Amino acid sequence: MPALAKHFHVVAIDQRGYNLSDQPEGVENYKTDKLVADLVAVVKHFGPGKAVIVGHDWGGLVAWTFAMTHPELTDRLIVLNLPHPRGLLREIATNPNQQKNSQYARDFQKPDAAQHVKVEYLTGWVKDPEARKVYLAALKRSSLEGMLNYYKAKLPTQLPDDKDRAGAQPAVPAFPAVTCPVLLIHGLKDQALLPGALNDTWNWVEKDLTLVTIPGAGHFVQQDAADLVTRTIVAWLNR
């Protein structure tokens, strides 16, 4: 963020359920349309005009959806380690390895999941000890139920091993085209979101797509390869 702030007005938000943001109860309050509406409100607050939308993981899904549904507010799109939702759903439906690696998400959908998640576990990806303290404090202020409602609201409740024995696979829904330039960065060691979901992204983006894969980085690519990610984003935005 400091590097970007030298060139742009940077605004970072805590999505609902996290830290000091509202923590509404109920799965319905964490559906994608509500999260996108939150982002619309932020962009319009700092507007008028379009914004560059940046997201990682669930924030990446919101960013993709925002760009699809609000092209009038989207200048460019940057997504870290969250493939286009069409590609991700395709892999969940057809790729046994992705199905296996998505089991954690199914576990998060169970009614008592919050009782089995320790906040300390959620900070294991933060390498710097001092930064980990900051994240831990923020997560302790967050709603575990709210965080898990992201999985309950957005992922299919049945994954392919629940399909009927005739072998029918769930249909992958269509999505509106993304009409702005896209920078997609993906750490290839991500065990939750396998890189096969990146295939065909170019068919769903109408402008230029820049795809950067980083072999040595995992799901938290912005931490694992912080300097490369920062330089890539700044260069792409300033080109």
Active-site pick, 30, 84, 219, 224: 219
In one-letter notation, the amino acid at residue 65 is: T
Catalytic residue, chosen from 38, 57, 75, 135, is: 57
Q: Which of 30, 70, 151, 224 is catalytic?
A: 151
Is residue 151 annotated as a catalytic residue, yes or no?
Answer: yes
Residue 40's nearest CA partner among 24, 51, 30 is 51
Report in angstroms the alpha-carbon separations of 205 from 81, 170, 173, 174, 208. 17, 23, 16, 13, 7
Q: Is 81 left (phi over 0), alpha (psi -120 to 50) or beta?
A: left
Asked whether the beta carbons of 59 and 15 are under 8 A apart, the reply is yes
Reply yes or no on whether 116 is catalytic.
Answer: no
Helix spans in the chain (H): 2-5, 32-46, 58-69, 85-94, 96-101, 103-108, 129-140, 144-154, 221-224, 226-238
Strand order in the sheet with 51-56: 51-56, 74-80, 182-187, 209-214
CB of 114 closer than 8 Å to CB of 145? yes
* Residues identified as active-site: 57, 151, 219
